[in-house]
Amino acid sequence: MSKVVPGRFSAQIDESFVVFLIGMRVNNIWAVNKWLPTAQAMGPMLNVLHQYSEKGFLGQESFFRLFPITTVMITYWKSFEHLEYFARNADDPHLKPWREFNRSIGNDGSVGIWHETYLIPAGQSESIYANMPVFGLAAATTHIPAVGKKETARRRLGGNNTPAVPS
């Protein structure tokens, strides 16, 4: 378990980046021959991404729900181009399992997979971590104290400390 860092912290990233959420849901618990290979495919991908920083992967957090069995991974990338190249490059460990999933599972309903991609322009993100281990975007980039210009969500987004009235 990661060490808790007492206090308030934020993530520092000055460039645009990508948040890519990906997950799997076991729809038929008895179809182990279908969902287990799908689940096992992620390990080799993460090993390569952690080993080769030039692939543009910044980091990830993973979550698991028991019923129904569901995984969620939040990943951070330097750019959409890095993410897409990794997904489509035959020399990387994603394309083969993706093709195998489509061949062996396709639309049979036994296993669900999903992803969501968010392109975050520079200066358009904010984060706060209070009494947390180094986590999420701060673990993928730079973990900094949330003081001064980083003290409030509005300030972290570059504004003054006066809330705007919604229209």
pTM exceeds cut of 0.85: yes
First-to-last C-alpha distance (Å) of the chain = 44
| Pair 113, 152 in one domain | no
| Pair 134, 113 in one domain | no
Whether 26 shows a pLDDT value over 90: the answer reads yes
119, 79 Cβ separation under 8 angstroms: no
Alpha helices in the chain (DSSP H): 32-40, 42-51, 80-88, 95-104, 136-140, 153-156
| Pair 33, 80 in one domain | yes
pLDDT in tens, 64-86: 999 999 999 999 999 999 999 99
**Mean pLDDT of the 33-53 span:** 96
| Pair 93, 152 in one domain | no
Q: Is residue 36 part of a domain?
A: yes
Of 121, 106, 131, 154, give the one whose Cα is nearest residue 5: 131
Model confidence at 165, in pLDDT bands (50, 70, 90)? Answer: confident
CATH of the domain at 116: 3.30.70.100
Q: How many residues would you count in the chain?
A: 167
Range(s) of the domain holding residue 86: 17-120
| Pair 49, 131 in one domain | no
| Pair 73, 97 in one domain | yes
| Pair 114, 82 in one domain | yes
